[in-house]
Amino acid sequence: MLTGKNILLGITGGIAAYKTTFLVRLLIKAGANVKVILTESAGDFVSPLTLATLSKNPVLSSFVSEEAGSTDWNNHVALGLWADLMLIAPATANTLSKMANGACDNLLLATYLSAKCRVFFAPAMDLDMYKHPSSKTSFEKLKSYDNVMIPAASGELASGLHGEGRMAEPEEIVAFITDYFSKGLPMSGKKVLITAGPTYEAIDPVRFIGNHASGRMGFELAEVAANLGAQVVLISGPSHCTVSHKSIRLEKVVSADEMYHAAHKNYPDTDIVICAAAVADYRPKSVAEQKTKKNDAEISIALVKTKDILLSLGKEKKKQYLVGFALETENEIANAKAKLKKKHLDAIVLNSLNDTGAGFGTSTNKITFLDKNSTIIPFELKNKAEVAQDIFSEILKRIDA
Ligand code: CTP
């Protein structure tokens, strides 16, 4: 989300300035370009050399370049235009009051007044300063200028007192601004539901019927949807895959029945649903309470059908754009088309086991995307992250049309 974004970080003189080294590191790690402006007193709390090294850019403090003998000007107007977002963290009571009142006695303030981008500020001060009516007035005035406040947290303060006033943690600040950038994304405001992984159908307390699905395709789909700005619910059977994106809520299930209930619970307010799970079609008719002991006789297990989750979602479909998967070994296109129709889908993603590198247990997949208007789009063999991108770009063309 922050890749390639230009972030101008203004650091003012409070003890929380030491945390900005972590903040800069997180921003750089997230792919942002970072330039730092330090007020004079901020330099007492954090070293310009550390910030320059972490941000990979010179740190600016005064209107004239700090290099010995230089008469170059640190152009606050150019800095303001360069930034996609300006962040003032920590923002002291003094700087906030100056910002609120149009004072312009240092490079940070001049740049703030020149900035055309959205400005965020993360106050940091002692609890009584934070509560003071004049601080509150500054906050309100700045919000009325369309600046965004990242509220301070409660906790132990540098004074030893406990209360509100601690600067938000670097991770929270990054989450806040990531949210801001995500709002302009193509799937911002959309809810996406994805099923992933295998299901395990218990035979007895220690055994189950399962399959080799890794869950990777569904997890990649969730990641792409979240990166496109969607809020994602990922319902997964047992899988080693993990999620890191904060817009993905993972609901872990084991059996087809649990997946069915989780899917229906989340379905009504969902915009896009992709069923990528390899759901067991059958489950043991009864589950033995105790571990089944071996003996010399052959045994057989009676199986009954599980509920078809995708079919049931298709029957209840209202506004949702519903996508299924089909894993085929023969008559691929005809079988996929039949499933699309039978399950009331808007589209189906076909993988054929006849294609090397497609299907289960691989990091790659080769898909054909079919929609309800009989459009058939074959794709090359790609890694599953790229396949997930292809699937969402096809969906986006259709839901926006
Ligand atoms: N599916 C489901 N619930 C089930 C079975 C399948 O939601 N109980 C979904 C899968 O997640 C996938 C699609 O249905 O999106 C696959 O359809 P299905 O008819 O089950 O395909 P196959 O399992 O390949 O069927 P068959 O074995 O008959 O080819």
Distance CA 256, CA 308 (A): 9
211 is catalytic: yes
Task: Flag whether pLDDT at 401 surpasses 60.
Answer: no
Sequence-distant (≥ 6) Cβ neighbours of residue 278 within 8 angstroms? 197, 198, 199, 211, 213, 327, 360
Distance CA 123, CA 143 (A): 13
Contact 311, 263 (CB under 8 A): no
Domain 6-182 is found in CATH 3.40.50.740: no
- Give, in order, the Cα–Cα distances in Å from 349 to each of 70, 230, 268, 367: 62, 20, 23, 6
**Ligand 1 pocket residue status of 322, Cβ below 6 Å:** no
State mean pLDDT over 70-94. Answer: 88
Task: Give domain limits for the chain.
Answer: 6-182, 191-286+300-399
Task: Flag whether pLDDT at 109 surpasses 90.
Answer: yes
Q: What is the DSSP letter of 41?
A: G
Decide whether 6-182 matches 191-286+300-399 in CATH topology: yes
Distance CA 397, CA 393 (A): 6
Q: Could you report the per-residue pLDDT of 259-318, keeping only the tens digit for each?
A: 999 999 999 999 999 999 999 999 999 999 999 998 889 999 999 999 999 999 999 999
Distance CA 12, CA 14 (A): 6
Residue nearest to atom 8 of ligand 1 (CA): 308
Indicate which residue of 6, 57, 211, 335 is catalytic.
Answer: 211
Q: How far is the CA of 150 from the centre of ligand 1 (A)?
A: 46
**Ligand 1 pocket residue status of 310, Cβ below 6 Å:** yes
State mean pLDDT over 58-74. Answer: 75
Distance CA 374, CA 356 (A): 25
Q: How far is the CA of 37 from the centre of ligand 1 (A)?
A: 56
CATH, range 191-286+300-399: 3.40.50.10300
**Ligand 1 pocket residue status of 219, Cβ below 6 Å:** no
Average pLDDT value for the chain: 93
Task: Flag whether pLDDT at 69 surpasses 70.
Answer: no
